[in-house]
Structure 1
Amino acid sequence: MDFGFTKGELNGYSINIFSRNPIVETERELAVIGGREKFKMEKGTYKLRLTL
């Protein structure tokens, strides 16, 4: 996934996230593998939680 920011302080920046994303799980941990501008060469994890 590639998330691009279009407003505010991060306008024009993007962040790349890559990993399994099983939609049946309500909590997932995804890998951050880089991005543009401020996020260039970034690495780490992104925790995603689905709430209904």
Structure 2
Amino acid sequence: MSDSVGPTGLTDAQSEEIHRHLIQGTQIFGMIAALAHLLAYIYSPWLK
């Protein structure tokens, strides 16, 4: 990997770190949303 700075002003390592955190945050959000939808389905009386 080079330490060259791209058009965003970040190095390749910094860009990959931000990308890793963005993906991890998206996965956590997705899991929480799926759990919330499951709980809403289970505990909503009008869906049964």
Q: TM-score range by the shorter chain?
A: under 0.3
RCO (CA 8 Å, sep 6+): is it higher in 1 or 2?
Answer: 1
TM-score with structure 2 length normalisation? 0.15
Rg bigger for which structure? 2
TM-score with structure 1 length normalisation? 0.15
The structure carrying a bigger helix percent of its residues is 2
